[in-house]
Amino acid sequence: MTTPPRYRPIAFGSCTLQVTKNAKGHTYVQATETPKEYPLRLTDRLIHWAQTAPDRTFMARRDEHGDWRKVSYAQALETARHIGQTLLDRKLSVDRPVLILSDNDLEHGLLALGCQYVGIPYAPLSPAYSLLSQDFAKLQHAVNTLTPGLVFSSSSEAFAKAIDTTLAGDVEWVVTKASSTPRKATLFSQLEATAVTPEVDAAFAATGPDTIVKFLFTSGSTGLPKAVVNTQRMLCSSMQMVLQAWPFLADEPPVFLDWLPWNHTFGGNHSVGIALFNGGTMYIDDGKPTPALIGETIRNLHEISPTAYFNVPKGWEEVAKALEADPVLCKKYYSRLKVQFYAGASLSQPVWDKLEATAEATCGERIAMTSGLGMTETAPCALFVMKNNVRAGEVGLPLPGMILKLVPNGDKLELRYRGPNVMPGYWRAPEQTKAVFDEEGYLCSGDALKWIDPNDPNAGFMFDGRVAEDFKLNSGTWVSVGPLRLRAANEGAPYLQDSVVTGHDRSELGLLILPNIEQCRRLAQAGADASAADVLAAPPVREFFQGMVNRLYRQGTGGATKVERALILIDPPSLDKGEITDKGAINQRAMLTHRAAQVQALYNNTTKDLITPEKD
């Protein structure tokens, strides 16, 4: 008899579901537990911790010398008040908000707190809109949508071209350091030095649950990104839901090391929100899960022992690899870790297995790896896994206060949301807002769920893909894209970065393979100067992907699950075309639209790089 694995003890919330159906066949699911009382605004928690733990570090980031520069809760509150006064002096408002173009840093965080304190919305944008884009189309769209009155970027030279191209000359530009750029810029230190007047306290008192905190732009899976309104009620209710799912957060102040971008809801609302709500410490990680920057993350993990660690699957892949090779890192990483969490895509089983093996070898027990489901429009938390032993693809149970509506859509259950953390709408986009809510006021997510055990609702849900991504073969058979991509991720690790499923209105399933070019370079034993085409044409790489396609074909049980053909893409996904987000998530629809010629070649057998399964 197999001995069940031992997990580090952790206090998860308990959840019992209430399930009802109506005459239309719609299923409504909610937790019997309701949300406990939560603050009117997130800045109430800033004030609380500044009073009860004034010297505790709220945020920290390495300076140019490599030392941790720390900001305490008391310092964060005081600085937020000074910045708030500056913003009031500029007559900024919901119609003239603050636009933040650069990545996570202390100035970004303090400016955001200053905005929140006096009720002036801000919008953190992906730095890629300014630094990687060639046409600045998404940045211009954001500027046109928001009409900002002030823009901030950490660097002046790096962002000068984007700002000059998209912003009128009368929009104030704030930078961290002085520069030689022609456009006049205000130093961030001037914002911090503004004397506070009673106007700041009056502005704070006027904020409440319906005050707009920020605008977060969606990735733009169809068309240009939409500005999601985030209110204080959304953020505070979402954080209270998390606390009830993870009551251990109240046992000791959490400590995070986190790179997740604040222009996304995962990093900006989930990670930062949990730290602030629970009096924790956020160490800003300047690393990223890329070959050039993962070393910085590993360096930081050698110094900082998190109590919880959040990442996307690509990040977990790199961390798992580093832990496997470094027992000293393992000892530091696992010393006080309570929970691990992934979101954004499916975590492959090989990566999961590595993490469990290194934890058991280091401390004799596994650390819970959990996940959940939500969206920018739910700020972001909606479902959470609240147990130790989890399978890939599980998204858990609805958090207290959330009501799920499951609507039959083909052979799937389409997920819709209602709750205090659901957005009121998209900013200055009434038609798009109207289109995303159904006749009962539920937010249509586009995601699909399925019961883990239809006879036991409390077992929770599995993610069942995106409804909009699924399609029919010309036989009329539905293809479920999400589960197929998960199978491909498991079979393709570590050389597959992601995949795009093809076959709409065709007779066979196919795959566009997005390779992990650095891993493939190692497999091919190719030098740094070898082109991507040469790396991907190397026999070991071709043999690996041939084997992957063979396994996917054999695992299939019919036309809707058997992969009959594949093509390795040489050109990486394009940000400007909306094929990828800066977190690395792939937009299936955009990829299929912009790679139509390659899809056509895949089915016309007109590409020499075609991979077909070796059949018995």
Residue 314 near residue 289, CB atoms below 8 Å: yes
Per-residue pLDDT at 482? 82
Q: What is the pLDDT of residues 530-564, one digit of tens each?
A: 999 999 999 999 999 999 999 999 999 888 899 99
**pTM value?**
0.86
Strand order in the sheet with 17-21: 17-21, 27-31, 403-409, 412-418, 443-451, 461-466, 394-398, 381-384, 372-374
Q: Are 581 and 518 in contact, with CB atoms under 8 Å apart?
A: no
pLDDT band of residue 606 (cuts 50, 70, 90) is: confident
User: Distance (Å, rounded) from C-alpha 600 to C-alpha 614?
Assistant: 22
User: Average pLDDT of 307-331?
Assistant: 95
pLDDT at 313: 86
Indicate if the pLDDT at residue 57 is higher than 70: yes
The type of residue at 36 is K
CA distance readout (Å), 327 to 320, 355, 362, 368, 588: 12, 13, 7, 20, 38
Mean pLDDT of 438-459: 95
pLDDT, tens digit (0-9, with 9 covering 90-100), for 162-185 = 999 999 999 999 999 887 888 999
Percent of the chain past pLDDT 70, that is, above it, reads: 98
pLDDT of the residue at 76: 98
CB 305 within 8 A of CB 283: no
Which pLDDT does position 1 carry in this prediction? 59
Per-residue pLDDT tens digits for 6-40: 999 999 998 899 999 999 999 999 999 999 999 99
Stretch 50-57: mean pLDDT, rounded? 98
What's residue 584's pLDDT?
66
- Judged against a pLDDT cut of 70, whether residue 156 lies above it is answered with yes
Nearest-angstrom CA–CA distance, 284 and 300: 9
User: If phi over 0 gives left and psi between -120 and 50 gives alpha, with beta otherwise, what is residue 516?
Assistant: beta
> Which of 95-109, 126-140, 459-473 is predicted most confidently?
95-109
Other C-beta atoms lying within 10 Å of the C-beta of residue 452: 17
Q: In which element (H, E) is residue 22 found?
A: none
pLDDT exceeds cutoff 60 at 458: yes
The one-letter code for the residue type at 108 is H
Model confidence band, residue 290 (pLDDT cutoffs 50, 70, 90): confident
pLDDT score at 176: 96
Could you give the CA distance from residue 368 to residue 565 in angstroms, rounded to a whole number?
37
pLDDT tier at 220 (50, 70, 90 boundaries)? low
Residue 465 exposed, middle or buried by CB count within 10 Å (0-12, 13-18, 19+) = buried
pLDDT computed for residue 583 by the predictor: 60
Other CB atoms within 10 A of residue 95 CB: 11
Order across the sheet with 339-342: list the strands: 308-311, 339-342, 368-370
More confident site: 451 or 557 = 451
The predicted pLDDT at position 582 comes to 61
- Find the largest Cα–Cα distance for the chain: 80
Residue 172, classified by CB atoms within 10 Å of its CB into exposed (0-12), middle (13-18) or buried (19+), is middle
Residue 316 in this model has a pLDDT that exceeds 90:
yes
The C-alpha atoms of residue 124 and residue 215 are separated, in whole angstroms, by 8
Q: What is the CA radius of gyration of the chain?
A: 24
Give the per-residue pLDDT at 589.
81
Q: What does residue 465 show for φ and ψ, rounded to 5 degrees?
A: 90, 180
The more confident residue out of 360 and 586 is: 360
Given a cut of 70, is residue 223 above it in pLDDT?
A: no
| Mean model confidence pLDDT for the chain | 93
Asked if residues 398 and 244 have their Cβ atoms less than 8 Å apart, the reply is no
- The upper half-sphere exposure of residue 228, i.e. CA atoms within 13 Å in the direction of its Cβ, equals 26
Q: Is the pLDDT of residue 158 over 80?
A: yes
